[in-house]
Amino acid sequence: MLDVQVRDPIESRSDSDMLILVDPADNEVGHLSKRSCHDGGGILHRAFSLLIFNGRGELLLQQRAASKRLWPRYWSNSCCSHPRRFESIAVATARRLREELGLSCRLQFLYKFQYQVAFQTAGSENELCSVFIGVTDQPPRIDHSEIAAWRWVSPERLSEELADQGTARFTPWFMLEWERVWRDHREAVLALRASGHPPAGNQVLK
């Protein structure tokens, strides 16, 4: 019997998006389709992850759609994606936040990290990922072709869930991100709750 994976047509169309290949220092070295970037062990490309909080300090989590090639139905950070060819991180983050969640807010850049991890035999993530935080009390208006479900969770509850369920329920990049964010950037996260917005002028331009 053939193992046929049903894939969402929007997901399939996005496979042809031309992504930005980079070296470990985030210097642009070429371009390749999204699908090819994630084939096999993956080819290093530029990416971003957004962690969006509300005024109570809760983090917005999304459950990835069942049609996703990598980690379908796993819970993950608020939004993650890639800038397209000739697109800056600033433009790409605003675009995907609007497209996936129907949200708009100021973003604060925290750090970049490189990771590579395979999902069974379906393909791999091999990304140099910029991590941002933001805050909004707008209600999400999700793109159901991208997101199966969403919820707000407190940092304390999230840490409990990660310790209890970890790799069985959450994407690997999100687990790496949250550990570092809550360890090294906790003050920045808590400042969102106090001020209602991140500081200005801390955006990466690539």
Residue 135 maps to a domain: yes
pLDDT at 1: 30
Q: Which residues are catalytic?
A: 80, 127
Confidence of residue 134 (pLDDT cuts 50, 70, 90): very high
Asked, for residue 9, whether it belongs to a domain, the answer is no
pLDDT(10) > 90: no
How many folded domains does the chain comprise? 1
Cα 65 to Cα 132: distance, rounded to the nearest angstrom:
22
pLDDT, one tens digit per residue, over 14-56 is 778 899 999 999 999 999 999 999 999 999 999 999 999 999 9
Is residue 8 included in any domain, yes or no?
Answer: no
Instruction: Please report which residue ranges of 111-202 form alpha helices under DSSP H.
Output: 155-165, 172-184, 186-195
pLDDT value, residue 60 = 98
Domain presence at residue 203: no
- Is the pLDDT reported for residue 155 higher than 60? yes
pLDDT at 2 > cutoff 70: no
In a domain, 1, yes or no: no
| Residue 189 in this model has a pLDDT that exceeds 70 | yes
Q: pLDDT class for 192, splitting at 50, 70, 90?
A: confident
| pLDDT score recorded for residue 3 | 33
- To the nearest whole percent, how much of the chain has pLDDT over 90? 82
Helices (H), the chain: 9-14, 34-37, 89-101, 155-165, 172-184, 186-195
Average pLDDT over residues 67-74: 96
How far apart (Å, rounded) are the C-alpha atoms in residues 156 and 39?
A: 36
Could you tell me the CATH number of the domain that includes residue 171?
3.90.79.10
pLDDT in tens, 83-126: 999 999 999 999 999 999 999 999 999 999 999 999 999 999 99
Q: Is residue 3 part of a domain?
A: no
* 28 inside domain: yes
- Does 103 map to a domain? yes
pLDDT for residue 206 is more than 90: no
User: Domain range for residue 99?
Assistant: 18-195
